[in-house]
Amino acid sequence: MQRRKTIKTVIVYTVLIWWTLMLAAPIYWLVITAFKGPASINRGATYLPFVDFQPEFSAWDYIFISQRDKVIPPFVNSVVISLGSAALAVVIGSMAGYGLARYSYRIGRMGNDSIALSFLSQRMFPAAVLIIPFLLMYRDLGLLDTRQGLLLAYTAFAIPFVVWVMRDFFRGLPVEVEECALLDGCSRFGVLWRIALPLAAPGLVAVFVLTMIGAWNEYLFALVLSFSESVTVPLFLQVQTSVLRGTEWWNMAAIALLAVIPVVVAGLALERYITRGLTFGAVK
């Protein structure tokens, strides 16, 4: 019995460590590549700093000093667009989520559940059916290649998810507290602002972080709707592979590292909320 247990433990940790190494390898490669120089990359694969290559900082010099004016704007765009769209989507989406949790609606033959489901079903549609009308609409509205345009698009994509999650969340909150506040003369807005939202804070954090990460990493719409002014980080990264002089792997790696760090830090710090948000509604 004891031997069996030992074998089981060995298998369990072999699997866990194997997958950890699989996940860590590309990250390791990304980090060391960001500190390699042109010479040590084009010579062939090198693995250990100080052993088979000398760390250099040419990529960081490129980003922060020599090409700063080229590298910083995409990051500013991405920060503005991802934070802005996440905030907007959380406000609009949780309003609808709260409404669907507390009132009963009837639109045609649709009740609350059908309305919530018809929001959610928008997530199923592939982006392919959206890009062409977006291109035409944005061209006519003058929103092509603007931050506002991308911000608005990402807000729209995030709202169905926010509505779905926040509706479930608000339904889980006790309705009695809100009734009491209404009785004591608090307005509906006051109830929402002072009671429901603070109680729903964990859910709000989860959907905010998830929609922010989604917008930060989005690629296809950025590709279709922006050319120069509103280029975001993923698009800027991809463009690095097609520079005329050949790909500057060290610069690309450093930019990729900067693109990855903020969301990973935010994600890891709020891991508990994210796990909850991602599996919400799927497992009951």
Partner 1 sequence: MVALEKPSAPTQARTAAARQPGFSLPEVFWKWALLLPATLVVGALLIFPIGFTLVMSFTDWHMFRHGEPVAFVGFEQWQRLLTDQFVWQTLRNTMVFVLGVLPLEYAVGLIVALALNNCTHGKKFFRITFLMPLMISPVAVSLVIGRMIFHEDIGPLNDILVRVGVQPVHWLTDAKLAMLTLIIIDVWTATSFMILMLMAGLQSLPQEPYEAAVVDGASEWQRFQYITLPLLAPVTVTALLIRGLDAFKVVDIIKVVTGGGPGQATESVTLAVYDLGVKGGDLAYGAVGAYSLLIMMMLFTVLVLTFTRQMVRGVS
Question: Could you say which of 1, 2, 3, 44 contacts partner 1 (CB under 8 A)?
Answer: 44
Residue 224 touching partner 1 (CB under 8 A): yes
SS3 content of the chain, % helix, strand, coil (to 5): 75, 0, 25
Residues of span 186-205 touching partner 1 by CB under 8 A = 187-189
CB-hemisphere CA count at 13 Å for 102? 20
With beta carbons less than 8 A apart as the criterion, state whether 233 and 112 touch: no
Q: How far is the CB of 143 from partner 1 (least distance, A)?
A: 11
Nearest residue to 251 via CA among 27, 35, 77: 35
Residues of span 230-259 touching partner 1 by CB under 8 A = 233-234, 237-238, 240-241, 247, 249, 252-253, 256, 259
Alpha-carbon span 78 to 84, nearest angstrom: 10
Contacts 24+ apart (CB under 8 A), 115-118: 116/163, 116/164, 116/167
Question: Could you say which of 74, 84, 93, 203 contacts partner 1 (CB under 8 A)?
Answer: 93
Residues of span 12-41 touching partner 1 by CB under 8 A = 12-13, 15-16, 19-20, 22-27, 29-30, 33, 41
Q: How far is the CB of 253 from partner 1 (least distance, A)?
A: 7
Q: How far is the CB of 163 from partner 1 (least distance, A)?
A: 6
Residues of span 135-174 touching partner 1 by CB under 8 A = 135-137, 152-153, 155-157, 159-160, 163, 171
Question: Could you say which of 47, 142, 201, 229 contacts partner 1 (CB under 8 A)?
Answer: 47
Q: Which residues contact 224 (CB under 8 A, 6 or more apart)?
A: 131, 134, 135
Residue 54 touching partner 1 (CB under 8 A): no
Residue 103 touching partner 1 (CB under 8 A): yes
Q: How far is the CB of 214 from partner 1 (least distance, A)?
A: 10
By CB under 8 A, how many residues form the interface with partner 1?
A: 104
Residues of span 258-277 touching partner 1 by CB under 8 A = 259-260, 263-264, 266-268, 271, 274-275
Q: Strands, E, within 191-247: which ranges?
A: none
Q: Tell me 110's DSSP state.
A: B
Alpha-carbon span 98 to 163, nearest angstrom: 8
Question: Could you say which of 39, 117, 127, 177 contacts partner 1 (CB under 8 A)?
Answer: 127
Of the two residues 45 and 65, which places its CB atom closer to partner 1 in the complex?
45
Q: Which residues contact 150 (CB under 8 A, 6 or more apart)?
A: 77, 81, 85, 221, 222, 225, 226, 230, 232
Q: How far is the CB of 124 from partner 1 (least distance, A)?
A: 6
Residue whose entry in the numeric block shows the structure tokens 């639109």: 107
